[in-house]
Amino acid sequence: MQRLPKNVDGGTYKSGGLLTDDTLYLRLRSLVLGDRLLSPNFHRAVLDVIISGLMGEDPVPYYLGVIYCFAKLPKDHPILDLLVEKHCLEFNEAMDTEENGEIELRSQLPVEFLIRVMLRYSNLRRKMASWPRKEDLNRCDYHGHKSEEERANCTTNEK
C-alpha cells in the first residue's frame, strides 16, 4: 500500500486574498476528493495523515479549511468532530488576525461548526472544576462602566 508523505513543506499562500495554511488545507481537500471518488485506500491514507497531524503538532485549522470541510463532508464524518475538538482545546483569540484573514472569515463559519463548538465547550466546562461558576460572575462586568471609580461606586455591584 502506498503512503502519503507525513511531512510536507508547509507555509502560507494567498487564496482569494487570504493567507492559508496550505498543508492542512490541501490535506482536507484531498480527504474530500477521496470521499467523493469512493477510493477507500486513498481516503483512509489521507484521513490517517490528517488525524496524526491534528493530534500532534499541527496548528488549529484555519477557518477556510473548516468552512470547506463542513460544506463538503457528510455531517457525520469523524474529521468534523476532530476539527471541533482541536479548536476547543487549542484555539485562542490572538490566532485570528486581519493579516491572516481569520477575522474576516469568522462571519462565514458554518452554523453547524459553531453549534458543535458551543456544545463541546459546554461539555468541557462541566468537567472542569476551576471553570467559572454562576456564583463567580460579577454584574459590573456587563454594565459597561466607563472607569474603575464608576464601577466601584455601582450600587448593584455585589462583589
Is residue 101 located within the same domain as residue 146? no
pLDDT reading at 11 higher than 60: no
Q: Quick one: pLDDT band at residue 130, thresholds 50, 70, 90?
A: low
Is residue 17 located within the same domain as residue 59? yes
- Per mean pLDDT, which range of 22-31, 52-61, 124-133 is the poorest? 124-133
Judge contact between 49 and 59, C-beta under 8 A. Answer: no
Is residue 123 located within the same domain as residue 49? yes
3-state SS string for 100-126: CCHHHHHHHCCHHHHHHHHHHHHHHHH
Gap between the Cα atoms of 52 and 139, Å rounded: 44
Mean pLDDT, range 60-78, rounded to an integer: 91
pLDDT given for residue 20 in this prediction: 46
pTM above 0.75, yes or no: no
pLDDT in tens, 74-127: 999 999 999 999 999 889 899 888 888 889 999 999 999 999 999 998 888 777
Q: Quick one: pLDDT band at residue 71, thresholds 50, 70, 90?
A: very high
Q: How many residues are given for the chain?
A: 159
Is residue 157 located within the same domain as residue 97? no
pLDDT given for residue 17 in this prediction: 41
Gap between the Cα atoms of 44 and 47, Å rounded: 5
Total domain count, the chain: 2
Q: Is residue 62 part of a domain?
A: yes
Q: 111 lies in which domain range?
A: 12-128
pLDDT given for residue 9 in this prediction: 45
